[in-house]
Amino acid sequence: MLFGLFMGDWTILILLPAMIFAIIAQARVQSTFNKYSKTRTFSGLDGASVARMILDKNGLYSVRIERVHGHLTDHYDPRANVIRLSDSTYSSDSAAAIGVAAHEAGHAVQHAVGYFPIKLRMAIIPITRFGSALAMPLFLIGMLLTAFSYNSGIGEIFMLLGILFFSFSTLFQLVTLPTEFNASSRAMEALRGSGRLGSQDLSAARQVLSAAAMTYVAALATSLAYLLRFILIFMGASGRRRN
């Protein structure tokens, strides 16, 4: 198989740690959310109420809160100026729900104050989508050209373009990391500052947010592992052509 893109060479080993990390991170966030979704908060506040409280405290009265179907499908949509909370968050007064809702409110606050990383993330979304769609086709075409056109460097150019476009996705994951950590930090600060949650509630919310944060770390690690593997495959293909 051409330079072992999918199997057959040692570079696939680069992906294994990142993939294992991603599986563990996803399992942890699910188990942590499930655990604390059964823990009722002392205040009795549900997810929608917590999000509204944080928004109003920051003067974001125009940001709406809507219910959306699904599990952990919560997100803030800056274009519609709305926080969408999933069925498992919107009306739940669990520690897990208030942590997730507060996190999404944190994103709304980021947009309101012009937090630079989230502005950068929004700006690179179009090029990230474009790059993600073209990266693999360009890389595969480059591999074929390099394999069957030994006296031409056109294949290498295509492979490099594929690597470049894929790097946009890695950049997006890199920018996402501080954005998500900051949103969780804002969430915890708001929950503590409300004075309506006990220490156990705050501890549970923090654990939920910490578990969720690890999924973003895992996503970045996986993207970096793929990028490194593509670079090594390119170096191997280029070396074989010159030999």
Token pair 């919107």 in the structure block, residue: 90
Whether residue 89 is contained in a domain is answered as: no
Whether residue 82 is contained in a domain is answered as: no
The string of pLDDT tens digits covering residues 115-156 is 999 999 999 999 999 999 999 999 999 988 887 765 568 889
Token pair 């390119």 in the structure block, residue: 234
Amino acid present at 172: F
In which domain, by residue range, is 218 found? 2-41+95-242
pLDDT-wise least confident of 31-35, 40-44, 74-78, 147-151 = 147-151
Mean pLDDT for 232-242 is 77
The string of pLDDT tens digits covering residues 50-71 is 999 999 999 999 999 999 998 8
Whether residue 70 is contained in a domain is answered as: no
5 pLDDT tier (thresholds 50, 70, 90)? very low
Whether residue 67 is contained in a domain is answered as: no
pTM here is: 0.85
Residue 9 CB neighbours (<10 A): 15
Number of domains in the chain: 1
Whether residue 85 is contained in a domain is answered as: no
- Write out the catalytic residue numbers: 104
Whether residue 224 is contained in a domain is answered as: yes
Whether residue 87 is contained in a domain is answered as: no
Q: What percent of the chain has pLDDT over 90?
A: 74
- Cβ(77)–Cβ(94) under 8 Å? no
Please report the pLDDT score of residue 150 as a whole number: 59
CA torsion 201-70-171-158 (nearest 10°) is: 160
Q: Which among 30, 49, 34 is positioned nearest to 98, based on CA atoms? A: 49
Whether residue 161 is contained in a domain is answered as: yes
